[in-house]
Chain A
């Protein structure tokens, strides 16, 4: 039969308000819904049953469900930055002006050319891709995959930034009840009475679950519970909040939709709740199962519960003539609801031999024809249901009669929603009587105390009659996995299990024949349950089919793993506030603002942004770096070194402690002096370096690398708290207390002597420090040098760092004072052959590799890493060692380039004998310089190495001393 209006019923619809019309667009057409509609109910009210195309065969699809389990009615919402693919029409509230589009169809939903896949479907069996596109290998990446990706797939990814805001929040409760149906509200009331802090989460915008729809008096019962709960201070009721995942220690993640319905309200669109629950009650209800009969995917075949939801909740007639097919009593409610709404119910097809419970009797009394022991052999119709061919359920599908209808309401029984229960380890049992998996009360998810921290109630526990006094006795459900029971292969190839991914009964059976015994493997092979709905309506039917094909009981097959999220979360909700400027905390030195206003080109160093260089005018970065280096070498420059780690180590055992931490002796360092130190981990590998200053008899200040500050402080505390807990040492990370400015260059002292101060710089030798006042600011001046020039590092309280920096720029103007960035610092240290943690080291390098034996104490009985450095592999004479490399051309050999050796290894790869660790153009020397780790390097001075480039060109470099500039160190004195 053809579909005829009216689709909106004259009466009814407990969730809608007909007074307010809501205009919206679907595939360009202007339609109207009413307040309270979901997108699905509004589309149905406009006669639009066809809402999408399936993933693989592009078959026409309409909604089969009315809630979160919907696999078919996935639409694209919104435009521009608010574009969202794959949104379920059944749970999306209708919003005025909403622009919606169908997906996976071309050129249009009605005439989809890709539906040719449907005619070719015998060529696309389970595992089709794996079987077909194996050879020739390169074709997969370049031909097969791009074509398949174009024809498969649902909605498109958005291309613009989401303009909406999102946030997250933490909550804590003694008890969280998930599900605001009658069972959840009852559990909340019982718990609340004892004074516990209770949170109740409900995914829908309204409370009560199925009870108000299914039971006369249901709404009143729900209202009474709500009134009780709302009167309690210790109860929080949260609607529109979907519990998406339950993790260890009662950590529950939920998504609250705040302004989905009103993007212009200036509110966060969604909020991610991170809830720590003492105990969780899952009252998540149950989902109805489809029945597997031929062509059960034709638009108009819907779950029986969904049909009555649309009628009762939204006042929408999915069709005028509703055929019910069932294996249980509950679906009779749909027949009664349809009849009460004035719709035709030509028959109820009941697979069970007997149906004489209260509901079937009521149906018969209402004059509805009930056919027991029957099933549907096949659905007639293409883009919508036109009729159903009826057969004996026990037979092979011989047609007894054909019944015209435009909707088929099917019910294959109910499956408890066990997702949250299962997410963190709750086990299931197969209930043979009720034909369902339900939570095993003896094997719940466990809390820290080893006791169950989740309990389950209501339909989620398999208790389908949980509405108390509202219930009437119902007859038993009869498991029906295939309809009719002995359906031949041809019918089985048209029985859909997974509607979104186009997996049919025949596909699962084929997988079993091909040897797939594990349900997890079968899932991946057939893609059953792998779509965005995660198989909410298909999983149980699928594993029942697999069990039958393997001739084993269902519990032996088991279920696939339930994983969060229960329904998809948008990435924006997960990111919450972490976007734009708040994407990551940006650490800024006290001088950061000055760098910004002076055109610094920044580079990330951990979470800091450090000036890489300060380009002037039309200068590029390379030119700026060269200028800065020459200015320092020829005059004076300043570097913001505030990011360097500064850790105070104090106590009677501090010297002993530092002797263990560093490879060289720190306990013998006289007060007032500085010493460069290396720090290794237990495996002997170099992990950090820096200058240590002895501040007093019992205190040392340890400078670390920028990236090492927090890590090294943690390393120190780790050893102090876990190993040497009886040593009297305190540490404090003073990194951010001080701004530190390096003033380097032959004119550095002359500049500093211009500033009023109390420190006699002429009397401050290299590797010593002094304390006093400089330019009116309390300062500690370290005479240390990473550039090889006369250099001072000045530490002042962070709050006065900018003041000192600006004073230096002003006073040094006629010296040509030049602020320099990290790249100039890097090049200058490389000119001097100084190593850089992270360049010359990569976590596998020991100080001995770098020729730093002079910084390793031979006298100390122990230091962290000492024993490891004695291992055979560490003392192997073949280890690559640090050398300099002079490029034979004017080209800079790229950092990381490998020096090749003769021959090939077992994998046919060219052998290597070294690699470049740092490489720069040196403006000071006017040529490229590099450092490298080379096998037997220091013994091979003058030898030439080959560095082949990806282009085929071979660059050559001569091994040389790594100190390229001022080998005598005379420039340290200006």
Chain B
């Protein structure tokens, strides 16, 4: 039997913080507080454990280990003091899956209308997976997919189904 296209694994222990602010004004302060460069449009920056993704012209998503969440929230509030800004802990609202393996792209290509050949490392793509909202970016060995907590079962199911053995997209 052929191998599955990619491993699909639910990832626990990550915190997510939504940051809304004028990035032109507050960007430097944010970058300093977080310790990561502000990503370009559609980009995501990372130091290996923490990542900062561009969600919209005035929204960022900080992803970091759960243990660092409270401190990060505090630092962000300080950095944005006096600014018009919104910082919200969204850790519990999300579900995270890692899709890793040689044909991880095929799995995503079955579910998301995204040109994966042009999804460079360091790009965060907000899209959908079949009928649920999802965003993803490249990680070593595959892609990390985030979706909503309420549809985590659905997201896990369609990712696993799309990864079934022998269903690679290469022409046969």
* A→B interface (CB under 8 Å): 165, 167-172, 197, 236-239, 258, 265-268, 274, 276, 577-578, 581-582, 584-590, 607-608, 648, 650-652, 699, 728, 730-732, 734-738, 797-799
Contact = CB atoms under 8 A, between A and B. Distances in A.
Nearest to B161: A577
B130 interface: yes
A736 B161 CA distance: 25
Contact of B86 (A167, A171, A268, A651): A651
Contacts of B166: 265-267
A586 B161 contact: no
A188 to B, nearest CB: 13
A274 B113 contact: yes
Interface residues of B, number: 47
A582 B157 CA distance: 7
Interface stretch (B27-35, B45-53, B89-97, B136-144): B89-97
Contacts of A732: 18, 20, 86, 88, 90
A652 B82 CA distance: 11
A737 B88 contact: yes
A586 B86 contact: no
B161 to A, nearest CB: 6
B158 interface: yes
Given A585-B151, A652-B84, 8 more contacts: A197-B117, A236-B171, A588-B153, A590-B149, A608-B150, A651-B84, A732-B88, A736-B94
A584 B131 contact: yes
B73 interface: no
A868 B124 CA distance: 43
Nearest to B21: A730
A730 B87 CA distance: 10
Contacts of B165: 266
Contacts of A648: 86, 88
A167 B167 contact: yes
Nearest to A197: B117
A730 B109 contact: no
B76 to A, nearest CB: 14
A585 B92 contact: no
A735 B93 CA distance: 8
A577 B162 contact: yes
B93 A238 contact: no
A737 B110 contact: no
Contacts of A737: 88-93
Contacts of A169: 106, 109-110, 169
A577 B112 CA distance: 13
A736 B169 CA distance: 35
Contacts of A798: 92-93, 149
Interface in B101-140: 106, 109-115, 117-118, 130-132
A268 B167 contact: yes
B149 A728 contact: no
A652 B148 CA distance: 29
Given A266-B166, A588-B150, A797-B92, A170 B86 contact: no
A44 to B, nearest CB: 28
Contacts of B118: 172
A267 B162 CA distance: 11
Contacts of A797: 89, 91-92
Nearest to A200: B171
20 contacts: A169-B110, A172-B115, A266-B165, A266-B166, A577-B162, A582-B154, A585-B130, A585-B131, A585-B151, A588-B150, A588-B153, A590-B149, A648-B88, A650-B86, A699-B86, A728-B84, A730-B20, A797-B89, A797-B92, A799-B92
Contact of B130 (A268, A581, A582, A588): A582
A239 B171 contact: yes
Contacts of A586: 151, 153-154
Given A237-B171, A267-B167, A268-B167, A581 B157 contact: yes
A753 B153 CA distance: 35
A320 to B, nearest CB: 39
Contacts of A588: 150-153
Which one of A237, A238, A577 has the highest number of Cβ atoms from chain B below 10 Å of its Cβ? Answer: A577
Contacts of A265: 166
B93 A585 contact: no
B75 interface: no
Contacts of A276: 113, 115
Nearest to B90: A737
Nearest to B85: A730
B94 to A, nearest CB: 8
A648 B88 CA distance: 9
Contacts of B89: 737, 797
Which one of A169, A236, A652 has the highest number of Cβ atoms from chain B below 10 Å of its Cβ? Answer: A169
